[in-house]
Structure 1
Amino acid sequence: MKRPGDPDLAEYMACADCFCLASRQAARKITRLYDGHMQKSGIRITQFTILSQLMLRGEMPIGKLAGLLGMERTTLTRNLTPLEARKWISIKAGDDPRARMIAITAQGRGAVRRGFPFWSEAQAHVARLLGADGEAALKILASRSLG
């Protein structure tokens, strides 16, 4: 029942085309697609992404890795726990004892090598779905500061 002073629901119809909602739905669909391809490798896409970035860039503080991945530090910390349990990463104190340093281990490099062919399949699949224009738009959006 509409209360006096409540706006007409029609005013909120623009919310149906919310960019934030659409981007989150797309991200979840893409993540499921990658995870489906990577299932046989025993590594999830979120884990592969963290490990591959460490492999490419070397040891770094958690805060720097979180920024690189566009993740909240607390979210990244939760994602690091299973990687450390599987001995795919090592976590140690940095020069500043408050900073924790993350590095990929030999086992983590092996996980990336095992996952890479499956990641490549998923990457090609998503590229076909997006097309050249969609790929370009996604990369532009990811690289821009929206603040």
Structure 2
Amino acid sequence: MAAAGCFCLASRQAARKITRLYDSYMQESGIRITQFTILSQLMLRGEMPIGRLAGILGMERTTLTRNLAVLEQQKWISIKAGDDPRARMISITRQGRNVVRRSFPFWSKAQAHLSRLLGADGQAALKLLDARNLG
């Protein structure tokens, strides 16, 4: 069967395994890799609307909104109305910045571990897929 070698299935399985690997390293920091990714992007890029953040992260808006609710409860982000009342602006708080700084060493260890597992060719393939903007 041709579907046995489905790249979509293989990539989704790989993504889940990679997430679990990062989460195992991040566990001691007290946050999940998805939370770290959202917070670190806000820290790097500054305040932005939910739609733009969803695009950067490659997430559906509804999934991102659920994740943001947890971060807001923790007071790691702030959500406010934008110039257009329909747009909601997301920014990282001081507490959120502290969480990123505290969690960075755990992320860094996970990153190094995955880098070793992928090797140069695997890293290049991931970057190539990102550069081709498949969707």
TM-score (norm 1): 0.90
Q: Give matches, 1:56-71, under 5 Å.
A: 56-71=44-59
Corresponding residue pairs, total: 135
Q: Does 1:108 align with 2:70?
A: no
Q: Does 1:137 align with 2:125?
A: yes
Q: Give matches, 1:1-147, under 5 Å.
A: 13-147=1-135
Distance apart, 1:142 and its partner CA:
1.8
The 2-side partners of 1:79 and 1:31 are apart by: 15
Matched residue type, 2:83: D
Distance apart, 1:136 and its partner CA:
0.6
The 1-side partners of 2:15 and 2:130 are apart by: 12
Matched residue type, 1:119: W
Distance apart, 1:14 and its partner CA:
1.0
Distance apart, 1:145 and its partner CA:
2.3
What per-residue deviation string (whole Å, max 9, x for no partner) do you get for residues 82-124 of structure 1?
A: 1000000000000000000000000000110111000000000
List alignment gaps of at least 5 residues for structure 2: none
Distance apart, 1:21 and its partner CA:
0.2
The 2-side partners of 1:143 and 1:45 are apart by: 22
Matched residue type, 1:23: S
Q: Which has the larger radius of gyration?
A: 1
Matched residue type, 2:123: E
TM-score (norm 2): 0.98
Distance apart, 1:143 and its partner CA:
2.4
2:90 aligns to what SS in structure 1?
Answer: strand
Runs (4+) off by over 6 Å: none
The 2-side partners of 1:123 and 1:76 are apart by: 23
